[in-house]
Amino acid sequence: MFCGASFVLAPTGELAASAVSFDEGLVVCDVDPSLAGNLPEALDPELYNKPLHLWEALVLGLRGYVAQLGAADVVLALDGSLHTCLLAALASDALGPTHVHGLIICEDARDETRARELGEALRIDLRQTESSSAASAESNEQWALSQAQLLVWAGSLGAVILGAQDKTFLALEVRVGMGTCATLLPFGDVYRSDVTEMAHMRNTISPIIPASCFMEVSVPAIEGLDEVEGSPEARLRRVDVTLATHIEWARTVTDTIARQGAPLVTQRILDAFRAAEAGRQGWPHPIAVSSRTLHDARLPLGLAWADRERTHEERLRMERAQSGLRRDGVAESDASVLERMGMDLSGLFQNVDATVVGGSLPQGVDRDVVERSVEDLLGLLQDIMQSGGMEGHSQGFGMDGPFGPLTWGGPFSEN
């Protein structure tokens, strides 16, 4: 989703004109090329409210998505949690309460009470899940039964099924075997801490979400996280910021750890993100509201390589090797330069069964030919580095398979 709000700035940085957000409009602004000083009447920029801005984007996105499918109604599950309550509020704001249908699937009386309070406050259509003697009391069987009932109900209404899963869940907690009948995940590109902030913001407009929903903060189970952050809110914020640093900001494992600190915990978060890749396959796409969705950040399923944090000594050796590649005169046949660089590169690959040119060559091997080959290779590496190919991420992917990319998009990973 794009917010709109196009604007015109003067050379001094003052705001000359601004369009409204999340609405179509035409703004005409006269530009005086001879203006040397400040604008006579500069505008004050609109105050940015992230939760409200995000909420408006999701409302507009949900409304447009349902309309593009030729539908008018949505069906969703209500289990009394903050996420399902907020999803019902979002659907009501986007489509109107008469077009929202909620299936109550609560396991205890307290959750059912919260779900019914929310439904009555929004004035949406509610239905109780049907029990079955064939289903045991285990939650997974009850969940499967509720999914089947959602499918039947949505089919009879011609409605779109919505899921309440967020980006944090899809990044870390989804597992192979988990499934959903949802067609769209409105919160699938929103981290859990931002979902909580949106819920607080929505309750300032009208207090429809029961206060007890805010008492339960679900934090992904990461070993050692509770030793780094004290409160559940702080732990969740650390997890989400770590994921955003690695996904949206496309930082490598080493850079993410350097920015976030707590190396063991940060590495475990990134390992969990990589381990959940197979479980994310087949889940519906979200409303894209970030610079990089999980679909954009997907990893090749066939990739056995896993990046780790580079040690300080490894980073220093890499910097020395890169400085040698960038030094003027590398293209010349200087045996001493090539041998020194070969030794540096050999140190980087000391645990790998590889041979780097340096020192003496086997009898019968033409040194000039080898040096020219190495020079060509170093020139290629230099071009790749200058174009960003040495980074741990790539703008594109290699060969795609039916469930995701099969090959690494760039020539190198971080390590």
DSSP secondary structure string for all residues of 22-88: SS---------TT--S--SSPBPPPPP-HHHHHHHHHHHHHHHHHHHTT---EEEEE-SSHHHHHHH
Are 90 and 62 spatial neighbours (Cβ–Cβ below 8 Å)?
yes
Distance CA 415, CA 70 (A): 48
Under 8 Å CB-to-CB from 344, ≥6 apart: which residues?
Answer: 317, 320, 321, 324
Query: Cα-Cα-Cα-Cα dihedral of 37, 41, 47, 52, to 10°?
Result: -130
* DSSP percent split of the chain into helix, strand, coil, nearest 5: 45, 10, 45
Q: Reduced to 3 states, what is the DSSP secondary structure of residue 406?
A: coil
Q: What gap in Å lies between CA 240 and CA 36, rounded to an integer?
A: 45
Radius of gyration of the chain (CA): 27
Gap between the Cα atoms of 177 and 140, Å rounded: 11
pLDDT tens track, the chain, 415 positions = 888 889 998 888 899 999 988 888 899 998 888 887 888 888 988 888 999 999 999 999 999 999 999 999 999 999 999 999 999 999 999 999 999 999 999 878 888 999 999 999 999 999 988 764 444 445 677 778 888 999 999 999 999 999 999 999 999 999 988 878 999 999 999 999 999 999 999 999 999 999 989 988 899 999 999 999 989 999 999 999 999 999 998 888 888 998 898 899 999 999 999 999 989 988 998 999 999 999 888 877 777 777 888 888 877 777 776 666 555 444 444 455 556 666 665 555 555 444 444 556 667 767 777 777 777 777 776 666 555 554 544 444 445 555 555 555 555 566 5
H-type helices in 248-299, by residue range? 253-260, 263-275, 277-280
How far apart (Å, rounded) are the C-alpha atoms in residues 342 and 321?
9
Return the domain boundaries, the chain. Answer: 1-47, 52-280, 312-386
CB 267 within 8 A of CB 222: no
Instruction: Judge if pTM exceeds 0.85.
Output: no
Interatomic CA distance for residues 176 and 296, integer angstroms: 20
**Domain 52-280: which topology?**
Rossmann fold (3.40.50)
Amino acid, single-letter form, for residue 404: G
Residue partners of 405: CB distance under 8 A and separation at least 6: 298, 299, 300, 301, 397, 398, 399
